[in-house]
Amino acid sequence: MVQAKAPSSAENSRQALIIAAGELFAENGVSGTNVRSIAAKAGCHVALINYHFGNKDGLVNAVIDFVLESYRNYLPDEFIRCNEFLWETRSGQRKIVEYMVDQAFEFIRPRKENRWINTFIMRCSETNEIGRKRILQEILIPGCIRYTKTYAKITGSTNYKQARCWALSVFSPAFIYATNPAIIDDTCPRKKADDHFFDELKKWSISTALHGLGLEQ
């Protein structure tokens, strides 16, 4: 029996730098974070940043690659390709929409590990920092196209503004919760938002999505 190799010290230091950089970029922005603070947080020598990534820009791209790897695990494309027949009925269309929203929420769901990912994506999309172009082109724009096409296919409407409003009404609550949960907590100080609240938010968002498409039961 062949045993899997344990990660090398080089692999460990590279991963530690990516996670440390992601957390600090989410907290302070890319321009507000220097390489020495990243190295210190990762417990590595600062020279390892040049060794692994070439420079700070290379590290930013490595962080984005890490985020994208996680994102691809929640894409609905394969499910839809394997279930094209579902488009033919209202019940099938409901299943597609429910799956799409569920997967998007599961990617957005805040987790103890890598909790910084959502804030990092938001920071990159809002500013002109390094990474904005990649986040837009590889996550946000394809996602927008995916949902506007779904809206058009189910409703028969070619009104792009309506399609965008539908998509934003479905997913904005999750982004608000994921990037700044304190806002949710402050509106209900007696009971902090948690996974149960997030699951309830997902149910409401699925219901909103179906209602906006005329697919409510």
What are the pLDDT digits (tens) for 98-109? 999 999 999 888
Q: How confident is the model at residue 196 (pLDDT cuts 50, 70, 90)?
A: confident
State the pLDDT at residue 216: 86
State the pLDDT at residue 193: 64
Average pLDDT over residues 198-213: 93
Q: What is the DSSP string of the chain?
A: -PPPPPPPHHHHHHHHHHHHHHHHHHHH-STT--HHHHHHHHTS-THHHHHHHSSHHHHHHHHHHHHHHHHHTT-SHHHHHHTGGGGGSHHHHHHHHHHHHHHHHHHHS--STTTTHHHHHHHHHHS-STTHHHHIIIIIHHHHHHHHHHHHHHH----HHHHHHHHHHHHHHHHHHHH-HHHHHHHSTTS---HHHHHHHHHHHHHHHHHHTT---
Q: Pick from 58, 41, 60: which is nearest to 121 by CA?
A: 60
State the pLDDT at residue 127: 77
The model's pTM: 0.83
What are the pLDDT digits (tens) for 142-151? 988 999 999 9
State the pLDDT at residue 5: 40
- Is residue 138 exposed (0-12), middle (13-18) or buried (19+ Cβ within 10 Å)? middle
The percent of residues in the chain predicted with pLDDT above 70, rounded, is: 90
| Listed ranges 37-46, 105-114, 176-185; the one with the highest mean pLDDT | 37-46
Average pLDDT over residues 153-162: 94
Q: Evaluate if residue 128 carries a pLDDT over 80.
A: no
Q: Evaluate if residue 8 carries a pLDDT over 70.
A: no
Gyration radius of the chain's alpha carbons: 20
State the pLDDT at residue 1: 41
Average pLDDT over residues 189-217: 85
